[in-house]
Structure 1
Amino acid sequence: MLSDLKKSEEVERLKDKIKTSGYPKYEAIGHSKSLIGTMYVKEKMDYGFHIFFIHEPSKTNKLAGMQGILSEMYYDLRNRSYWIKRNLKEVKFSERNVDSMFPFSGQDRSKIFELISTDNNQGLYIDSFNRLGAIDRERTRKYGRFFYRLMTDYSFYELLYKAGIENFSNHDIVNPKGSSPREVFGLTKTQWKMYVKFGVKLSTFSRGLNIEQKDNKSINLLTYVKSLEDEFGISKMTDFEKLEIKSLYKDRYRNDSAMYLANTYNLPEKKLIRYLYFECDVSQGISTMTAIREYRDYIRMTTEMGYERFDRYPKYLKTAHDIASRNYNVKLNEEELKEWNSRLANNKTYESTLGDYRIITPETPEDLVREGNVLGHCVGSYVGSVRKGLSTILFLREREDLEHPLVTIEIRNNQITQAYGRSNYPPKKAEKEAILKFAKKFELSTRRTGGLNE
């Protein structure tokens, strides 16, 4: 009986010492607005803490006791050292006994975690609490099972925070006993390098077949993008990871990614990346996503229309896209096609050979559309004018290469009204001379010809 008395006196002396120690403290208030007890933080470390909790005396709460039980908890994640004492006697480190140290409401949670955290582990407890406080079908997050689980099965969380990995709640833990963050997450050395060097999100990576091949390609592309960032002075790494790298690991490229377009249309990947991510932004003021979507439509339309020679990296993407769209949408019904063919014989009278050049007539509306897409202008929209006899459209070609568009010519009322090459540029000197000979032969005026007089 005497030893119990001495022990009780010793507990009370320690309580008084703790209360006057100046330790940071926080009071637990119950639903009835009454004080349940007070937490005192003796020590907090980057990897744990040492706390006391002094319960207020209670006749009904056994965890509080008639005299107000003194509880003490030591928690060291790094060295896996932990214990709980109640009135100086060590008790089992269990969820229930841990809970007795934290009789706080959910509203107190952020303040409690802040109280036991250091500058170097801010977020560790709240992040891991959200993950471990309730698992599977558990509906309510509890301090007891959170701290118990964190220490017994998830102590690697402290290792991750030490490495500066703060938000990992949504990432798969592959090896809880791993000695490094890389091992914990099950990443390859190359993936870890991409995470550290380029800031690639952990959720981007995957495991499975062809990982080494995917890793090598990913780090090669990321290194290339980094070099472009330095060259152009703009940041594109976040967009590139989201649109390209994540898809690469999933074996399924998004249709609004440069890699998808490169693979679909047999284009050089790096050249397309440079164009869509950097050149369109810096030179044309087009965001990455807009550039990819505009280009996707542009390359699809020009490919479907069967053109081989066209600008795959247009200096003015939006203009090229709009021209291709106008040409692509040219459709003739049966009656309109008959009108077109009725004009063809008359138009063919202009076909001529002029030294190294030849003037030819478009045989079909598709020929006109192709001319517009290859040279980057909207002559495809002239199908209706040609069909109605309002315009005559002719093509200037090299005599030995009739498939390669050079200059498009329009004739109206015995006047050559337009003669333009690629992107509405004037004809070259030799081309202009050939067109002037053609005009003289057919007695066509060139006084106000766009292209020839520029």
Structure 2
Amino acid sequence: MGDLKKSEEVERLKEKIKTSGYPKYEAIGYNKSLIGTMYVKEKMDYGFHVFFIHEPSKTNKLAGSQGIVSEMRYDLRNRSYWIKRNLKEVKFSERNVDSMFPFTGEDRISIFNLLSTENNQGLYIDSFNRLGAIDKERTRKYGRFFYRLMTDYSFYELLYKAGIKDFSNHNVANPKGRSPREIFGLTKTQWKMYVKFNVQLSVFSRGPNIEQKDNKLINLLTYVKSLEDEFGISKMTDFEKLEIKYLYRDYYRNDSAMYLANTYNLSEKRLIRYLYFECDVSQGISARAAIREYSDYIRMTTEMGYERFDRYPKYLKTAHDIASRNYNVKLNAKELEEWNSRLADNKAYELTLGDYKIIAPETPEDLVREGNVLGHCVGSYVGSVRQGLSTILFLREREDLEHPLVTIEIRNNQITQAYGRSNYPPKKAEREAILKFAKKFELSTRRAGGLNG
């Protein structure tokens, strides 16, 4: 009698669900037959309450010969979750959850949209893509996804509630944190910079002198924002990419204004204003191109011993070209002896790499020719090479050593730049050859202009 009574209760529940007017979605099998129907009783910003009524099946035990009705309550905010099958609570297991979601990949977005509210739109599909399969798991599954989201990854809901929907590349320092700032392990100043200036969270880090670095960065960001308002152009993205993500690592790449300011004892803010804004508005030069052009200009004028020269020329390219023409590439006997003494060390880097070969310039004239053919200023590096400050190498095709392709500079066991014609980055195959070369000689490439974006 008890089983009969329960069966009647189950049937009444099915009928009540079917006539309730709840939003629903049908699960269709690969053979186009109906597997069952999901009904959404309630959905909240932090969870949902659903039923799934299986169609009767003689072969599928999870469906049952009479068509099992399953009920699932999922409450992220209160960390509450359970599943009932035919009115009896069962274990919240991967298998039991998956039995309520027998949907194909084509249905996935529709299902998650059905379960979502306006405030948590995107939470489930994004979390499923991250948590449905981890490490060596090949197939994404609803069961493991919902369990992981509820337990070790429950902070996802808090981040979505705060409007942070793109955090795939950000380090989670404290998954049990009570706020996004605590979850990402950010200082109050860093969180302020994220909110006010939309700085990528991956930029920030912790470590020595963190308060000093935070204060310096927020001061620079405030300055850049004031320049954006003054000049009417946006440069924050360029500034972030070329400058601020290196501040927390205690170094700057040589293609950054901060590096040039620190190297040549210039005002950081004045140089930022000039390279990011004045060169763009007055001369039509992008920030990256201006930094590269200015780097050669300030190096040449400094090496030539100029004491009085325009540090912020109105026409940067013209000033650069004039400095390049004046740069002394004709060596006297002593200087030529110095050049030749460096040649053996430079030629130690020569290497064949598949279809490519890396060679060292034999004479100062080789540098001049390289710069003329490729349209850049390597000819002005004669002094640096002679003094041992730089090692300049040429990437050529192995079967055509006379045809310049890419010019490489090495300083302090690091490749600092690698550029082809008109200072364009190397092509894919050329870049791969250069990276193999760097690995062979244990050279760092983290600051290499042309190889890193």
Residue aligning to 2:263: 264
Residue aligning to 1:215: 214
* Separation in structure 2 between the aligned mates of residue 331 and residue 23 of structure 1, nearest angstrom: 86
CA RMSD of aligned residues (A): 1.6
- Equivalent residues in 2 for 1:178-327, closer than 5 Å: 178-327=177-326
Q: Are 1:127 and 1:167, in contact at CA under 8 Å, matched by a contact in 2? A: no
Residue aligning to 1:76: 75
Residue aligning to 2:25: 26
1:62 and 2:65 matched: no
Displacement after TM superposition at 1:16 (Å): 1.7
Q: Are 1:298 and 1:324, in contact at CA under 8 Å, matched by a contact in 2? A: yes
Residue aligning to 2:119: 120
Displacement after TM superposition at 1:208 (Å): 2.1
Question: What's the % identity of the aligned pairs?
Answer: 88
Deviations 1:330-352 (CA, angstroms, capped at 9, x unpaired): 53688xx9xxxxxxxxxxxxxxx
* Separation in structure 2 between the aligned mates of residue 170 and residue 41 of structure 1, nearest angstrom: 33
* Separation in structure 2 between the aligned mates of residue 327 and residue 102 of structure 1, nearest angstrom: 74
Displacement after TM superposition at 1:78 (Å): 1.1
* SS at 2:74 equivalent: strand
* Separation in structure 2 between the aligned mates of residue 66 and residue 326 of structure 1, nearest angstrom: 90
Q: Are 1:261 and 1:267, in contact at CA under 8 Å, matched by a contact in 2? A: yes
Question: Which of the pair has more CA radius of gyration?
Answer: 1
* SS at 1:53 equivalent: strand
Displacement after TM superposition at 1:275 (Å): 0.7
- Equivalent residues in 2 for 1:315-394, closer than 5 Å: 315-328=314-327, 330-331=329-330
Residue aligning to 2:6: 7
Residue aligning to 1:49: 48
* Separation in structure 2 between the aligned mates of residue 73 and residue 31 of structure 1, nearest angstrom: 25
Deviations 1:144-169 (CA, angstroms, capped at 9, x unpaired): 10000101121111111111101112
Q: Are 1:127 and 1:169, in contact at CA under 8 Å, matched by a contact in 2? A: no
* SS at 1:239 equivalent: helix
* SS at 1:112 equivalent: helix
* SS at 1:49 equivalent: strand
Q: Unaligned 5+ residue runs, structure 2? A: 337-453
Q: Are 1:134 and 1:141, in contact at CA under 8 Å, matched by a contact in 2? A: yes
Equivalent residue letter for 2:192: K
Displacement after TM superposition at 1:20 (Å): 2.3
* Separation in structure 2 between the aligned mates of residue 241 and residue 125 of structure 1, nearest angstrom: 30
Residue aligning to 2:91: 92
Displacement after TM superposition at 1:21 (Å): 2.1
* Separation in structure 1 between the aligned mates of residue 28 and residue 327 of structure 2, nearest angstrom: 73
Deviations 1:327-378 (CA, angstroms, capped at 9, x unpaired): 22653688xx9xxxxxxxxxxxxxxxxxxxxxxxxxxxxxxxxxxxxxxxxx
* Separation in structure 2 between the aligned mates of residue 331 and residue 44 of structure 1, nearest angstrom: 78
* Separation in structure 2 between the aligned mates of residue 329 and residue 116 of structure 1, nearest angstrom: 72
Deviation larger for 272-281 or 10-19: 10-19
* Separation in structure 2 between the aligned mates of residue 104 and residue 172 of structure 1, nearest angstrom: 32
Deviation larger for 169-178 or 144-153: 169-178
Q: Are 1:59 and 1:66, in contact at CA under 8 Å, matched by a contact in 2? A: yes
Residue aligning to 2:416: none
Deviations 1:385-433 (CA, angstroms, capped at 9, x unpaired): xxxxxxxxxxxxxxxxxxxxxxxxxxxxxxxxxxxxxxxxxxxxxxxxx
1:159 and 2:158 matched: yes
Aligned in 2, Cα 1:71/1:326: closer, same or farther, shift over 3 Å?
A: same
* SS at 1:176 equivalent: coil
Residue aligning to 1:168: 167
* Separation in structure 2 between the aligned mates of residue 51 and residue 145 of structure 1, nearest angstrom: 18
Deviations 1:219-278 (CA, angstroms, capped at 9, x unpaired): 111111111112222211111111111011122212111101111111110110111111
* Separation in structure 2 between the aligned mates of residue 322 and residue 109 of structure 1, nearest angstrom: 59
* SS at 1:100 equivalent: helix
Displacement after TM superposition at 1:297 (Å): 1.4
Deviations 1:164-189 (CA, angstroms, capped at 9, x unpaired): 10111221211111110100111111
Equivalent residue letter for 1:130: N
Equivalent residue letter for 1:17: K
* Separation in structure 2 between the aligned mates of residue 329 and residue 203 of structure 1, nearest angstrom: 44
* Separation in structure 1 between the aligned mates of residue 117 and residue 90 of structure 2, nearest angstrom: 27
* Separation in structure 2 between the aligned mates of residue 329 and residue 128 of structure 1, nearest angstrom: 61
* SS at 2:84 equivalent: strand
Aligned length: 334
Displacement after TM superposition at 1:196 (Å): 0.5
1:129 and 2:128 matched: yes
- Equivalent residues in 2 for 1:405-444, closer than 5 Å: none
Q: Are 1:113 and 1:126, in contact at CA under 8 Å, matched by a contact in 2? A: yes
Displacement after TM superposition at 1:31 (Å): 2.3
Equivalent residue letter for 2:136: R
Equivalent residue letter for 1:207: R
Displacement after TM superposition at 1:315 (Å): 0.6
Deviations 1:19-70 (CA, angstroms, capped at 9, x unpaired): 2222222111222222211111111111111111111111111111111110
* Separation in structure 1 between the aligned mates of residue 216 and residue 176 of structure 2, nearest angstrom: 30
Displacement after TM superposition at 1:317 (Å): 0.8
Deviations 1:188-230 (CA, angstroms, capped at 9, x unpaired): 1111010001100111111222222211111111111111112
* SS at 1:267 equivalent: coil
Q: Are 1:75 and 1:81, in contact at CA under 8 Å, matched by a contact in 2? A: yes
1:106 and 2:108 matched: no
* Separation in structure 2 between the aligned mates of residue 267 and residue 140 of structure 1, nearest angstrom: 56
